Amino acid sequence: MQRNVFKIITLGFCLLMCFGYSCADKIRKRPIKRQFAHTPGTSGHFTGFALYDLDNKKMVYELNSDKYFNPASNTKLFTFYTCLKMLGDSVPALKYITKGDSLIFWGTGDPSFLHSDLKGVKGFDFLKNSGKKLFFSPGNYTGQFFGPGWAWDDYNDYYQAEINELPVEDNVALIYADKNDSLQIKPAYLKRYLKCDTLYRPAKFTVKRDLLSNTFVYPFMALPKNFKQEIPWKVSAELTVELLQDTLKQPVTVVHMPIPANVKTIYDANADSVYRRMLQPSDNFIAEQLLLVCSSAKFQALNTDSVINYSKATFLDDLPDAPQWVDGSGLSRYNLFTPRSIVALLCKILEEKKNDDLVHSLFPAGGSTGSIRKIYKTENGQPFVWAKTGSFSNNYNQSGYLVTKKGKRLAFAFMNNNFTRTVTEIRDEIVRIITFIHDEY
């Protein structure tokens, strides 16, 4: 009898505990849910949210997490993970062979090659100091100079550099006023293409490149002091060779050869430094080129579609929802991902790197670095959120990691599509909700 009473009491206690835990979960979820209710910052447009507990390995709260959203630059997270799986510690710069007194080389898509910030010079120094006749073999990149779904009328804007197999200096010209208030262009080789056009009459001084050529025109008006503008140039094998010759100070000849089986590889910048530059300021050029580097590592040809399809089939086949993924940067509106798949990807990134602090150091940090440095407060100078932003007209997203005051480790994806309010309103509401979770969960 006593044993039966003990069993009943024990069973009742267990049920009470389970009920208590269930209620606790609901109590925790309810305040988060309340943050999304009746607030203008998350109403009137399509909002998706997924919040995941990294330690307990369970979803905390979801809102439209199974619906597809346009990710914009959150796409770079997929590029980043693919690179982690396919590349080593350094980015391949060039593939090459030597034949007698000749060195024949092929591009790998390396974005760090003479990059203005990354300053990858190992490939360049290898060519310069080889002591051999240099031959560049183009044609290894089989795609278009723009990604699918890119806006053609953004061709003159710094963030839409053209894609090619051997980029030089970001594939972007820097046009600026020097200390003598004269208009200059870098690389200096392009100055022959910089011309004044009296028929070009913009509202303010600005430089515009011809759509199909490297003619850069500026208006006949006063040059503003400290003027600076970045414009992508029109890529071609011919221009690549001309820029290489101008920088190397030695001839480079174009040849057309398939890549042989015995090809060797020269490596350039540290991979993590390249990823950090891609993620923190959200560099579209680096993201697109890195997919070509991955393609170079796996296939002979450089092709974005091939490496995306390979990644989806090999590394991303276990995501909750199959991604519709078409480019490396997120410039295309054809990209579509669900919030819960992005959260799953964030978990995979942590599993791959096996170091939270290292991953956090690569992401933008709230109140500290990158694209969210001005929109979150820090605690005693330390950030509590690390997130990749993604935005273009009528869309703003954040996805990343969060550590609460109680030390809980969370991953989240917060997607906002098709709004007509200002980006500032949407962004401020994301900051409010993520900060609330940090403070209360």
Distances (CA, A) of 249 to 165, 190, 245, 267, 365: 21, 16, 5, 22, 42
Residue 4: the pLDDT is 53
Query: Judging by DSSP bridges, how do beta strands 385-392 and 395-403 pair with one another?
Result: antiparallel
pLDDT at residue 24, as a whole number: 44
CA separation for the pair 267, 248 (Å, rounded) = 18
pLDDT at 14: 44
HSE-up (13 A, CA, CB side) for residue 193: 21
Q: What is the pLDDT of residue 26?
A: 47
Residues 6+ apart with CB under 8 A from 136: 104, 105, 106, 107, 166, 237, 240, 241, 244, 252, 253, 254, 255
The reported pLDDT for the residue numbered 23 is 44
Confidence at residue 11, expressed as pLDDT on a 0 to 100 scale = 43
The pLDDT, as a whole number, for residue 44 is 80
Measure the CA–CA gap between 48 and 161, rounded to whole angstroms: 30
* Cα dihedral 181/207/289/82 (nearest 10): 100
CB distance 142 to 302 below 8 Å: yes
For the beta sheet containing 208-209, the strands, ordered from the edge strand earlier in sequence to the opposite edge, are: 194-196, 216-218, 208-209
* Residue 172 confidence (pLDDT): 97
Whether the CB-CB separation of 81 and 349 falls below 8 Å is answered with yes
Three-state SS at 42? helix
pLDDT score, position 379: 86
Tell me what pLDDT residue 28 has. Answer: 53
Query: Which residue in 229, 230, 253, 228 sits closest to 242, CA to CA?
Result: 253
CA 418 to chain centre: 21
Q: Which residue has the tokens 């269930």?
A: 22
Per-residue tens of pLDDT for the chain, all 441 residues: 444 544 444 444 443 444 444 444 444 566 888 888 867 667 789 999 999 999 999 999 999 999 999 999 999 999 999 999 999 999 999 999 999 999 999 999 999 999 989 988 999 999 999 999 999 999 999 999 999 999 999 999 999 999 999 999 999 999 999 999 999 999 999 999 999 999 999 999 999 999 999 999 999 999 999 999 999 999 999 999 999 999 999 999 999 999 999 999 999 999 999 999 999 999 999 999 999 999 999 998 899 999 999 999 999 999 999 999 999 999 999 999 999 999 999 999 999 999 999 999 999 999 999 999 999 999 888 999 999 999 999 999 999 999 999 999 999 999 999 999 999 999 999 999 999 999 998
Q: Whole-angstrom Cα distance, residue 335 to residue 390?
A: 12
pLDDT value for 435: 96
